[in-house]
Amino acid sequence: MAKNKTLVKSKTFVKIVSHGIYSGWNPASRDLPKIVRFCDEVPARLDMEFGMIINIRQAKGNCIDWCIEHPNIPGDDGKPLAPFRGTMRITGSDWKFFLGDTIWAPPEDKIGDWRMWVKLDGNVVAEKTFHVVPETWSHPVL
């Protein structure tokens, strides 16, 4: 009589570790940026780095899909920019990932809601919306 083998799949864990405004990020470095202020509201200031760091455990070797949806920011052709999208392979069993963007010139057309999300196995596992506001509306200068 043959025995049926049941494969036990480890449970994947996903958590948003931090979200808000960060120190400058160097994509060539392995170091993640440091959180400066936890927030959902971001001033429209040149070079302001914002986003979220997520931690994914027990999913090494899988891929995530990520997306940053902008608030109708015009591109060089005058048409709204398409969302920024990408795919990343999870390289560790306790893996952290920064998903973020920065305000570029002119800052006035970056005002609005920026939605960022991460999918794993086709399901949204982390999502945050940041409200980019005129600098005069935001909290005191950082």
Of 105, 98, 94, the C-alpha closest to 45 is 105
Q: Is 53 among the domain residues?
A: yes
For residue 54, what are its two tokens? 């997520």
Q: Is 73 among the domain residues?
A: yes
Q: Is 5 among the domain residues?
A: no
Contact yes or no for 60/124 (Cβ under 8 A):
no
Q: Is 121 among the domain residues?
A: yes
pTM for this entry: 0.86
Which band of pLDDT confidence, cut at 50, 70 and 90, is reported for residue 2? Answer: very low
> What total number of domains does the chain contain?
1
Of 73, 64, 76, 75, the C-alpha closest to 117 is 64
What distance in Å separates the CA atoms of residue 117 and residue 135, rounded to the nearest whole number? 25
Q: Is 20 among the domain residues?
A: yes
Q: Is 2 among the domain residues?
A: no
For residue 78, what are its two tokens? 């005058």
Q: Is 104 among the domain residues?
A: yes
- Give 3-44 pLDDT, tens digit per residue: 444 333 468 899 999 999 999 777 788 889 999 999 999 999
Give the domain range for residue 133: 13-24+35-137
- Give 89-104 pLDDT, tens digit per residue: 999 999 999 999 999 9
Of 99, 117, 10, 13, the C-alpha closest to 56 is 13
Q: Is 52 among the domain residues?
A: yes
